[in-house]
Structure 1
């Protein structure tokens, strides 16, 4: 992720009536492996990795109907005699291009994990190189403080309602005939088609953020096809998606003290405030100041108070991003030009002819709006915003505000209900103060999986517990589970290691922002 805060959410359905495994298994499709297309979103490449097109139904309820090609990848790393199978990944988002994740994760896993698995991934349907969808806009049509619906200073959401209505109109008009079938459940079904094409009886999985929900849905629809499943930085599967987003309001409050303490500890050089209370006061002063007179960022252009609020939230995802916070705060406070080159606003994926400029946003909205119904009445959102902006003023009620999904058709099928039916082969890892997928949501995931899972929690605020840049019991638990099949005997909680790495690679998640 990391050039900006973006870079910076069957057995389940009437005893399996709608799940594809309830019917005869499809024949094993042939995969013609070849060179992969260029990486998206700054993900790395690896000359050992190869890619292929997998033909899947647009609508699994009509398996002989229209089809699309989903691009899949593999990076062989397992050693003969030690190989257990394949390990699949997702970049989060939703909407994160995932095809090149094996080339990223090969640098994260220890050798004992790499010896056991070939690393695989897919660009989810509608994303990247897999029949990408568009809303017909450039990225300029997704201003940060509108796409993330920050209410007006007086709490009104009128401007958010109009933006959401217009964006829904454009997505539905320009998204094409596949748009309504871009769902988490269908991506999970595509994953199982990939398993069949690989000739594997089971697959293992390790991903977080939105990827936690995708993994949970796969592990529910195809429980007996799962080997070892890790879900990180967890979505509550019973809250997708409006109620999950509403958790952001409280989560920002829980995370902000970490940032405030970091900035206050550097008051001798930053001069932003000597205590966390000073920093909190400064935050609201800067929001008000910038909404009256935006500051000009040399790369991003005008930064008003609402964009500043979005950027502070987004750059709270990892402590390695706190220096970027400091640059932004100094620009806002005293006009000090930033030096890192990081841009505090939405950015497009690196432009390639095969992928629309707005594909991240369009595919994200497709999943958010197609997975589950949202409240229709704007008054519902106005009431919730009025409450949450008083309870959690940092985010000003943004988490519970209206999205284009309020103006979207009803989903083509109900959401998958994640359950504890299946083998006890799920490891949940989570940080305590994650601002994007907060701890309370992880408890929802833990409750949904029941006896299938064990949970490991780390006392940090980063978005992602499987994070080699911050070693902890969660990193060791994931590696032990993947390498040896060892799950913790009980749910556990730990502090990060006493001397965490000051820098290093972090899991390549595309956050919900």
Structure 2
């Protein structure tokens, strides 16, 4: 997960036997051949702007509550670009988005077209908007405008380390979601996302699916592989979440501590390069203390910032900008420019924000999924202790990764325990992971690799940024993943790709 979604820069078990009883597992290998018979009605997509004209759209009805399959139904919006060679076609490749709160509806004609020809020849590329996310049946908590600020959605403590405001925000957001979120918000969860995907698989007429899951999508993909192991063909998990079943999203949030420490030196080297128009210091060693001094000064003396949310540049806004900017090197100038402005006592133009209805929807999906996946502590004292330790050990993130999100006051108990990821099942999983990733750090990916045991092989890429496959120009990593998707051949063991 990253907790940042793909739709917004603003912005984790029922026993397996019970689940597979819904649709008995099939162990026969998926075979190449023409498209399977689909129960879906595919039509030209409406309102998709620059989408590939080959992209088609459909809607599938699935149970709101998979424990009550004949009860209330919700809609899932789907998209596809068919395989480009009927004679080579193998099946369907699900493009599982990040989030929670991300959509892959545009991905078959977007990032899916970056896939090499031999992969596009073999697979129908399948995108979707997960449950709760428009244009699928959607949820909205009706939050106050101020609570949509990134510094509220990420629980940055007050400058003195107090979390009183964070606990108050958790109560306010949770109350709004209970009041406005409807019945669907209680049924948002990673396990239900995985069950929805199996309903899509069945509607497509496929015995097995392949998948490319990114960020939070890796957790959806691995949960699917755990619940429906014999329905998986070739599974690629890219930028991987820690699968800790006792913490789930709490572990993902905590991972930002190490993720920032892994990536900040790379930013510091860039931000001190001679000739860089956004250079902030003469040496890399000066960048970190400069950032900490600027954040502390903005804690004491915020600068008015009309049009922003909040309407001031304070220390936590700078810290949140740092976190966002470390997602990929292409965003480094945003942080450097803000540091230069803060040093001179000015601000740049207020950053553009997504439309508020999109933010409301994405935020509700994120809160509902994270809070329904696992119970979070309710004690403010527990968060205060964790935040104090985090601030001392990781000053760049100032305690945020150990702080209270809305889940600390969530009005509903999880309806089921998190899925425990194990090594039981077919060896069909390939992990690909950048060495320096602020959102899903290598340390968390290694925990997923360990949990999967013989089921997985991991490709570690010498690259910086969130998202690895086809994102960083690492020929070794891209070639290894593409070869697996096209042929099913994985490396014999874990691989390190230097370039």
Give me the TM-score of the superposition, normalised by structure 2.
0.90
1:220 equivalent in structure 2: 226
1:114 equivalent in structure 2: 120
1:375-430: CA deviation from partner (whole Å, max 9, x where unpaired): 11111111000001000000001001001111112101111112222111100011
1:100 equivalent in structure 2: 106
1:8-30: CA deviation from partner (whole Å, max 9, x where unpaired): 67xx644x2441x223569x983
Query: How far off is 1:337 after superposition?
Result: 6.2
1:33 equivalent in structure 2: 42
1:249 equivalent in structure 2: 257
Separation in structure 2 between the aligned mates of residue 3 and residue 279 of structure 1, nearest angstrom: 29
Q: Structure 1 stretches of 5 or more lacking a match? A: 498-513
Q: 104-113 vs 467-476, which deviates more?
A: 467-476
Q: Specify the SS of the correspondent of 2:414.
A: coil
**Equivalences, count:** 480
> Compared with structure 1, are the counterparts of its residues 342 and 456 closer, same or farther at alpha carbon in structure 2 (3 Å cutoff)?
farther
Q: CA RMSD in A?
A: 2.4
Q: Specify the SS of the correspondent of 1:87.
A: strand
Query: Are residues 1:313 and 2:323 paired?
Result: yes
> Compared with structure 1, are the counterparts of its residues 303 and 3 closer, same or farther at alpha carbon in structure 2 (3 Å cutoff)?
farther
Q: Is the 8 Å Cα contact of residues 56 and 193 (structure 1) preserved in structure 2?
A: yes
Separation in structure 1 between the aligned mates of residue 257 and residue 350 of structure 2, nearest angstrom: 25
Separation in structure 2 between the aligned mates of residue 289 and residue 333 of structure 1, nearest angstrom: 9
> Compared with structure 1, are the counterparts of its residues 109 and 425 closer, same or farther at alpha carbon in structure 2 (3 Å cutoff)?
same
1:230-274: CA deviation from partner (whole Å, max 9, x where unpaired): 001111111411122112122212211111111011477445211
Separation in structure 2 between the aligned mates of residue 55 and residue 215 of structure 1, nearest angstrom: 21
> Compared with structure 1, are the counterparts of its residues 269 and 24 closer, same or farther at alpha carbon in structure 2 (3 Å cutoff)?
closer
Query: How far off is 1:194 after superposition?
Result: 0.7
1:82 equivalent in structure 2: 88
Query: Are residues 1:404 and 2:406 paired?
Result: yes
Query: How far off is 1:288 after superposition?
Result: 1.9
Query: Are residues 1:137 and 2:143 paired?
Result: yes
Q: Is the 8 Å Cα contact of residues 5 and 315 (structure 1) preserved in structure 2?
A: no
Query: How far off is 1:7 after superposition?
Result: 7.2
Query: Are residues 1:292 and 2:292 paired?
Result: no
Q: Is the 8 Å Cα contact of residues 77 and 114 (structure 1) preserved in structure 2?
A: yes
1:413-452: CA deviation from partner (whole Å, max 9, x where unpaired): 1111122221111000111121101111101110121101
Q: 149-158 vs 284-293, which deviates more?
A: 284-293
Q: How does 1:85-484 map to 2 (within 5 A)?
A: 85-137=91-143, 139-238=145-244, 239-266=247-274, 269-270=277-278, 272-296=280-304, 300=308, 301-334=311-344, 338=348, 343=351, 347-348=353-354, 350=355, 357-408=359-410, 409-484=412-487
Query: How far off is 1:176 after superposition?
Result: 0.4
2:56 equivalent in structure 1: 50
Give me the TM-score of the superposition, normalised by structure 1.
0.88
Q: Is the 8 Å Cα contact of residues 113 and 482 (structure 1) preserved in structure 2?
A: yes
1:501 equivalent in structure 2: none
Q: Is the 8 Å Cα contact of residues 327 and 437 (structure 2) preserved in structure 1?
A: yes
Q: Structure 2 stretches of 5 or more lacking a match? A: 26-36
> Compared with structure 1, are the counterparts of its residues 92 and 3 closer, same or farther at alpha carbon in structure 2 (3 Å cutoff)?
closer
Q: Is the 8 Å Cα contact of residues 295 and 331 (structure 1) preserved in structure 2?
A: no
Query: How far off is 1:229 after superposition?
Result: 0.0
